[in-house]
């Protein structure tokens, strides 16, 4: 059966195979064999129509498949397909040397915009799989841990997933570098109009690092604010944003919610309807 599944290389066939493999993996069935099937599926889909006439994949085909994280999926199944793939990897990794080695590829590919969205969507759910949480943390450390921050914006309509980044801060025994990288990721990826509330919420749990971040943000260049703020912010709006971030850095944690309300009421650009407060802070 696995040989048949591995050759279903059409977009719909790939989605069906990934979903089936995940269902089997959740039952703990032959996890190493399931990952080998997934490797074959990736190899077959990457081949041209002419090369698919082969009877089997070559060693080079598997090598190329192991170095990329790309799937051609039906347009309405992209999110589900990548989610199934990541969960399949997390379940197979402890039982498959090839799946374990594939972590290096995921770490690299998830530093790209689309890959990051797919990973954050599954890593920031309630009770996310530890392997996915750890992978997401390592990706964000690579992007935001040291040096200049990556100027990456999430796709329109999907930026809301970044509001749940604080869930990654629940992990035990985070190093100072990991803590800093996760907070930096929130500052750079979360919807701008949600940022004050997200950081104010962290003042109660991670006061020192959060205040340090707010001070850093208040000193960012005007160019950074033009990139980060929605629309085309004026110099006056940028100056006001810097002052508000500085105020938030200095206010007692108990007074932060009131200050955030004032900041939201004075916002120059209203929050889009799809970003209205849905109680997400209570879940973070």
Domains identified in the chain, total number: 1
Q: Is residue 164 part of a domain?
A: no
Q: pTM of the full predicted structure?
A: 0.90
Confidence category of residue 261, pLDDT binned at 50, 70, 90: confident
Q: What local confidence, expressed as pLDDT, does residue 277 receive?
A: 47
Range of the domain at 63: 1-111
Q: Is residue 52 part of a domain?
A: yes
**Average pLDDT of the segment spanning 124-132:** 93
Q: Is residue 85 part of a domain?
A: yes
- CA distances (Å), 109 to each of 112, 148, 201, in order? 6, 19, 31
Report d(CA 179, CA 109) in Å as an integer. Answer: 22
Q: Is residue 71 part of a domain?
A: yes
Q: Is residue 88 part of a domain?
A: yes
Ramachandran region, residue 6 (left: φ > 0; alpha: ψ -120 to 50; beta: rest): alpha
Q: Is residue 132 part of a domain?
A: no
Q: Is residue 195 part of a domain?
A: no
Q: Is residue 283 part of a domain?
A: no
Confidence category of residue 52, pLDDT binned at 50, 70, 90: low
Look at residues 151, 117, 122 and name the one whose alpha carbon lies nearest to residue 134: 122
Q: Which tokens sit at 162?
A: 């970044």
């Amino acid at each position: 059966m696995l040989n048949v599944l591995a050759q279903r290389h059409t977009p719909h066939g790939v989605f069906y195979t990934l979903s089936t493999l995940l269902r089997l993996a959740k039952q703990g069935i032959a996890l190493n064999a399931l990952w080998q099937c997934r490797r074959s599926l990736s190899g077959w889909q990457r081949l041209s129509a002419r090369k698919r006439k082969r009877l089997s994949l070559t060693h080079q085909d598997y090598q190329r498949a192991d170095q990329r994280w790309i799937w051609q999926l039906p347009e309405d199944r992209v999110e589900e397909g990548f989610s199934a793939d990541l969960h399949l990897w997390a379940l197979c990794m402890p039982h498959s040397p090839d799946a374990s080695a594939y972590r290096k590829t995921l770490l690299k590919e998830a530093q790209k915009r689309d890959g990051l969205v797919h990973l954050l969507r599954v890593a920031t759910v309630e009770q996310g799989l530890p392997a996915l949480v750890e992978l997401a943390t390592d990706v964000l450390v690579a992007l935001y841990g040291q040096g200049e921050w990556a100027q990456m914006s999430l796709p329109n309509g999907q930026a809301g997933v970044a509001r749940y980044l604080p869930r990654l801060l629940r992990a035990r025994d985070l190093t100072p570098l990991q803590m800093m990288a996760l907070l930096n990721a929130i500052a750079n990826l979360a919807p701008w109009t949600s940022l004050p509330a997200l950081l104010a919420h962290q003042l109660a749990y991670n006061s020192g690092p959060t205040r340090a971040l707010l001070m850093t943000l208040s000193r960012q260049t005007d160019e950074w604010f033009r990139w980060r703020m929605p629309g085309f912010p004026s110099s006056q709006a940028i100056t006001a944003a810097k002052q508000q971030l500085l105020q938030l850095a200095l206010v007692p944690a108990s007074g932060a919610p009131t200050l955030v309300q004032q900041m939201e009421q004075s916002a120059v650009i209203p929050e889009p309807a799809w970003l209205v407060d849905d109680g997400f802070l209570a879940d973070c």
